[in-house]
Chain A
């Protein structure tokens, strides 16, 4: 049985169409990431599925039960953790958990035991008897997640569970989430961070303007917009039109200094060499030249025509140090295939080994250009 079946669900708030006929299926035991920018309709969809908001049209079922007609039965099998921690500020952590346990209809004693277990597990035991309003953002979010787990839900909704959290709290949430998934909990996760979707989800559904615009594994999505490319950043944008004429199959990108050349899996080095040779032959200098796979940010840009918040956020860190090896860290495997073309690079740019900052560069490409500025600065220094 599917854990979630959504068919043609619509929801309108005044003039805004928050959900424009969404279709989505989540199998039991699966982890699906719902990825989209702010205002894409992620939270609205979760609220519909969690029985908090009736849809205007269409149907949503949780384990075969209709979220409107069988709302109470649906509530027995779901847990919800939202981006705004829904805990009681004036109650202590322990009182919060006991209260929610009792409202899940555990016996008073059982609710107390579960509260203690969860306080330990979420590293809140020391703060258990302090009012939740004294908690830090991360602690509050952990308490909120714990509140969803007094009774183990078959299906857990995590609505932007780590938005605004520091890396340590974020990792703590991820860790618990993985444990839950290992125990068989089905998870529907919304996020605006590509990294989070890539890390946690078996499958990603990209949502924009209230509609699912693509669906698949991270790799599926990357493949969907093409395989590897040779990514070229010229030193001088004025050279680009000449370069596009000279290099076969070159495609311009929105950054006036950039273009890319698609390559087949087995001809990567050949194309890389051809591009480098051609540019050298006609006397065009490059700022950066590399082989890489599209990242999820590329997917996102391609699909939505807009930079996701996650990419923009990483800009500050990633964009500045194009020459460092740390920039790729956060974005996981996306850069594993990046290679450096030493060929044809002038001395001044020797330190810009490869396009480590790829995701941020793409965000900049759409949004205008943190990356470009950084590069200019760097050149000035060099």
Chain B
């Protein structure tokens, strides 16, 4: 039944110079360059997504600003009791809220990636000669840019409520950097989670289950000395406490070196483990 015919090969093999494929980079520098450019291309795409989804835009900008206002007024009165002399609650709270919003925002990274994986466009990404890791790095980098913008907004609202950086510009920049690194680490963590838990909804739910106890069991809202012993022990060793303490010390003074070192060590350590893990997983599942 099988009848094979050899057909005329057409006018094959005349790729036009202007539309021919770009040759593959052969040296390491070239590969790193393209890795970076692919990441930037995907980052631009994700940032466009962000501003074109009004629901997401509102949720992730209004909500943190609202929390600054709500938490400072609602808890300000009772929290004041536990704070050292001369420290107002908004001063204490705002650096903590940077960490709070970074932690919750990271669930959006998981949702965004999970949605991408369900979309056909990832198939096209995969059929292109681009860096595969760029889908992940472009996602987390876009979320980092977003994180910086949100921190800026929160600082603006904080200033309106009486918050002031007291340690100088350099320390203030340092506070934002520590928080951004933490935020970047959380994004990668949730990226990785999204690669194991299929579906956007599931990624979000799984995220909240982890995030709530971590956020409240930390020094974000209140000094941990006010907590029962077992919780204080948990909170004292939480990376969220380190990040909040570091940001706080760099913003309004206090012992900065230890929490900054701890926080940076946590972030870098976790990133060093999960980035390769996530990239490998991504290559395997998609």
Given the complex, which residues of A lie within 8 Å of B37, measured CB to CB?
102, 105
Is B124 within 8 A of A100, CB to CB? yes
B49 within 8 A of A: yes
What's the minimum C-beta distance from A54 to chain B, rounded to whole angstroms?
10
Q: Are B52 and A131 in contact (CB under 8 A)?
A: yes
B91 within 8 A of A: no
State A369–B120 Cα separation when bound (angstroms): 37
> In the bound complex, do residue A82 and residue B11 qualify as a contact, i.e. CB atoms below 8 Å apart?
no
Within 8 A of B (CB), among A51-93: 51-52, 72-73, 75-80, 82, 84-91
B16/A52 in contact, CB under 8 A: no
Chain B, Cβ-Cβ closest to A186: B12
Q: Which of B38, B48, B122, B128 contacts A90, CB < 8 Å?
A: B48
A82 close to B123 (CB less than 8 A): yes
> Which residues from B are CB-within-8-Å of A78?
127
Interface size class of B (residues with CB under 8 A): 35 or more
Tell me the number of A-to-B contacts counted with CB atoms below 8 Å: 146
* Residue pair A215, B4 in contact (C-beta under 8 Å): yes
Bound-state CA distance A166–B210 (Å) is 49
Query: Given the interface contacts A27-B7, A75-B128, A184-B11, does A105 sit within 8 Å of B45 by beta carbon?
Result: no
B19 touches A75 (CB 8 A): no
Partner of B120, one of A84, A104, A214: A84
Q: Mark A298-336 against chain B: 1 for CB-CB distance below 8 A, else 0.
A: 000001000000000000000000000000000000000
Answer yes or no: A116 CB below 8 A from chain B CBs: no
Q: Which residues of A contact B3 (CB under 8 A)?
A: 214-216, 220-221, 223-224
User: Is the CB of A103 closer than 8 A to any CB of chain B?
Assistant: yes
Give A86 to B128 CA distance when docked, in angstroms. 12
Q: Is B216 an interface position by the 8 A CB rule?
A: no
Besides A28-B13, A99-B45, A151-B19, 11 new A-B residue pairs in contact (Cβ under 8 A), listed by A number: A50-B127, A75-B127, A78-B127, A90-B49, A103-B41, A104-B128, A105-B22, A105-B130, A151-B21, A221-B3, A224-B3
The 5 closest A-B pairs by CB, nearest first: A29-B10, A29-B12, A86-B120, A216-B3, A152-B19
Write the residues of chain B forming the contact surface with A, with a CB cutoff of 8 angstroms: 1-16, 19-24, 34, 37-38, 41-42, 44-45, 48-49, 52-53, 119-130, 134
